[in-house]
Amino acid sequence: MALSLSVSRTMGLLQMRSTTHIGRRSIALLGGRYDGGSNTSRLLNSNLFGSRSFHSTRKMASEYEEEKVIIDEINKKLTPDDINHAKLLRNIGISAHIDSGKTTFTERVLYYTGRIKAIHEVRGRDNVGAKMDSMDLEREKGITIQSAATYCSWDKDNKSYQFNLIDTPGHIDFTIEVERALRVLDGAVLVVCAVSGVQSQTVTVDNQMRRYNVPRVTFINKMDRMGADPFRAIEQLNLKLKIPAAAVQIPIGSESELKGIVDLINNEAVFSEGSNGEILRKEPIPADLVDLATEKRKLLIETLADVDDEMAEIFLEEKEPTVEEIKGAIRRATIARKFSPVLMGSALANTGIQPVLDAIVDYLPNPSEVLNTALDVAHEEKKVNLIPSVQEPFVGLAFKLEEGKYGQLTYIRVYQGRLRKGSFITNIQNGKKVKVSRLVRMHSEEMEDVEEVGSGEICATFGIDCASGNTFTDG
């Protein structure tokens, strides 16, 4: 079975067109043939376009409720293997205003997940530099210029979760790199400086996340700096970004006295110890923080009651919600893009990073919880919902191109089916069929050869003549 698609969403991407499909990932298909079986009609001569729009929280919530019905129907068609694979996969981006500490945060993520063996700082004295800043100019200037992809795994509740992670630039001059990344990601971590709060590029990144309907968890970084005020930053998230946000943690100490965080959901204190904060010690909440923790936990529950029906019922009945009920409400509201849980710490001080990894698992969606909709322009743009199953025909989007020593490196997000080394895929923009001679996973500038990648994953390949935004299928 052959499927043809080509994606175009925004900002200088190929073949722009308007669309009435709002609040979901819309894809229009041209050129080629698709036989998706009972789940879709046959798609002929199609070209894939994606479109997302800005919405108020209420409007986006309404749109997601419509999406959820479709997603549930799609998931009924997935095999148990597809479901298990998706549940353990997260595609996330790290985004923020410049100098908020994204790359420093990412460096800690790679260290705590075991992807790297030592921590190197942006503009560090060892002249090595952070792993995700692979360009000489990035290491010289201390800023991220191009988005960099990697993958890692995080163990939680005796399960190993796989993260495809993209570290994006924070400078406005390189915002197109953020666009390219967010259009293919399922969730994001929005990093906010505890001192500066919401800044100009924070607003830009927020708009991009809304445009592509990307749910986010928020991490307030630099809690060890003088003038850090996480609650002012949270107030700015609510007022400037207009998204309901509430703390799920409070700091133990601040500025140079930062020692750890209080987990408001589990009602416990967490201290980061060891040479690089790799050891977490949990204790009862310090006596001087009990009142503040109680106040902020109550505020968290009240905020959740405003955006989640199940929590609203518990709140109105004046019951104390359980840990599972709070986490369930946060997950539902976050995926529905009605709420953002706020965590805090300091990447440079190696404090509060591991809880963010847990939050990515607990609150951000897996590929089977995101709706990707195709538009069959050969049949009056009839909607076709892509199914994140390896049993379906392959559909992939080339979202980023990079010139390397082996030629053009093409980054591909697999939306449906699987991509195998040695297989032939068709670029529906020009109709050319090409062979996938090499298939790799990226770890910044390093590559690891793989034989195949499944639905929902991100990979890269060489030797393909295409443009950013082209869609590939197996027919």
The whole-number pLDDT of residue 116 equals: 84
375-411 tens-digit pLDDT: 665 677 778 789 999 999 998 999 888 877 777 889 9
More confident call, 323 vs 115: 323
Is the pLDDT at 79 greater than 60, yes or no? Answer: yes
- Mean pLDDT for 404-422 is 88
Q: Are 471 and 375 spatial neighbours (Cβ–Cβ below 8 Å)?
A: no
Q: How confident is the model at residue 303 (pLDDT cuts 50, 70, 90)?
A: very high
Mean pLDDT of the chain: 81
Most distant pair of Cα atoms in the chain: their distance: 68
Whose CA is closest to 383, among 6, 19, 60?
Answer: 19
Bridge partners of 420? Answer: 452
Distance CA 465, CA 475 (A): 17
Q: How confident is the model at residue 35 (pLDDT cuts 50, 70, 90)?
A: very low
pTM: 0.84
3-state helix, strand, coil split of the chain in percent (to 5) is 30, 30, 40
- Mean pLDDT for 424-437 is 88
Is the pLDDT at 265 greater than 70, yes or no? Answer: yes
96-148 tens-digit pLDDT: 887 788 888 988 999 999 888 888 766 555 555 555 544 444 444 454 545 67
The whole-number pLDDT of residue 450 equals: 92
Q: Are 101 and 222 spatial neighbours (Cβ–Cβ below 8 Å)?
A: yes
The whole-number pLDDT of residue 238 equals: 96
The whole-number pLDDT of residue 446 equals: 78
The whole-number pLDDT of residue 282 equals: 96
DSSP 169-208: --SGGGHHHHHHHHTT-SEEEEEEETTTBS-HHHHHHHHH
The whole-number pLDDT of residue 376 equals: 65
DSSP 388-402: --TTSPPEEEEEEEE
Is the pLDDT at 465 greater than 90, yes or no? Answer: no
